[in-house]
Amino acid sequence: MTTPQGGTPTPEYGQQPYPQQPSPYGQGGYPPAPPPPPYAAPGYPAPGYPAPGYGAPAGLARPGMVTAAAVLCFIWGGFAIIGSLISMLGGAVVSAVGSVCSQTDTTGACAAASGAGGFLIVVGIVLIVCAGLLIWGGVVALSGKNSKVSVIACGILVIAEIAMMIASGSVAFSIFGIIVPILIILLLMNKTSKAWFTAKGGATF
């Protein structure tokens, strides 16, 4: 900077003639960086965001009672298939023997045996139908689509077992055969199970 005569200094080339004004953004002339987004404590979601893994609607988790009922349907359906084969085979043998001996029998015992054989065949057919319904009902129960199939199949089984108990007089075996179907019905008709089927849009009583 040179000072001409008269006492007024003149700025040299490249120098600012006026003092610089302070920048509104502080040093550097750039706006301040925005504050970082809020972070939640470890294990908790940030505000405004749902917790990962918890976005599914409440109440859609399959109750354990439905799973247990479906497993019992599969097991009892397998037993029903075995029982139907034994019943139909035994009924066929009894009917054949009764038909042969009824030609010479005058007491009517062989005719009664033929009737018992026919009854066993009918029971075998009912059991095979119930077995198919139980297995199918277990599948649709696990998916939440339907609980009526298993309940209806178990109801038919209970009626069939009562009929067999009356016809054969074997109370112990028939009671055992009644307990499991009734248990399946109770598991599926429970309030929690019915609410789950309703939430899934499935059919229930």
Q: What is the rounded distance in angstroms from the CA atom of residue 169 to the CA atom of residue 202?
A: 40
Quick check: is 36 in a domain?
no
Quick check: is 112 in a domain?
yes
Quick check: is 45 in a domain?
no
Quick check: is 113 in a domain?
yes
Burial (CB < 10 A; 0-12, 13-18, 19+), residue 199, is middle
Residue-number span of the structural domain to which 184 is assigned: 80-199
Quick check: is 29 in a domain?
no
**Using one digit for the tens of pLDDT, what is the confidence trace for 137-187?**
999 999 999 999 999 999 999 998 888 888 777 676 677 789 999 999 999
Quick check: is 183 in a domain?
yes
CA 7 to chain centre: 98
Quick check: is 14 in a domain?
no
Question: What domain count does the chain have?
Answer: 1
Of 44, 67, 85, nearest to 144 by C-alpha is: 67
**Using one digit for the tens of pLDDT, what is the confidence trace for 39-58?**
545 555 545 444 444 433 54
Quick check: is 60 in a domain?
no
Half-sphere exposure of 121 (CA within 13 A, CB side): 12
